């Protein structure tokens, strides 16, 4: 487990990149196989992978927005 949030984000980025690389290398047959992940809602691997990636980005953006709002409320800028 990562010791810091920064390390955790880096690990998540590395894992996401590895997952995307594997999906890019997959055949059309593999990508259209049914996904067993609940978020895919009975759809294929592509739908499940896209949903997970999108969810990760949405959660990350929400976290950044929360931090920016907190810093703005304290009179600090999140931009250099």
For residue 44, give its domain range. Answer: 5-73
In a domain, 48, yes or no: yes
* 52 close to 37: Cβ distance less than 8 angstroms: yes
Give the pLDDT mean for 43-56: 82
pTM, entire model: 0.60
- Count Cβ atoms below 10 Å from residue 16 Cβ, excluding itself: 14
In a domain, 79, yes or no: no
Alpha-carbon 68 to chain mean position: 20
pLDDT at 27: 94
In a domain, 80, yes or no: no
pLDDT at 78: 57
Domain tally for the chain?
Answer: 1
In a domain, 24, yes or no: yes
Q: In whole numbers, what is the pLDDT of the chain averaged over residues?
A: 83
In a domain, 49, yes or no: yes
In a domain, 57, yes or no: yes
């Amino acid at each position: 487990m990562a010791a810091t949030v920064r390390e955790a984000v880096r690990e998540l980025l590395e894992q996401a990149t590895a997952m995307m690389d594997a999906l890019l290398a997959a055949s059309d047959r593999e990508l259209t196989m049914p996904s067993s992940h609940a978020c895919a809602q009975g759809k294929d691997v592509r739908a499940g992978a896209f949903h997970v990636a999108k969810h990760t980005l949405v959660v990350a953006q929400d976290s950044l927005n929360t931090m920016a709002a907190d810093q703005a409320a304290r009179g600090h800028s999140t931009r250099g």
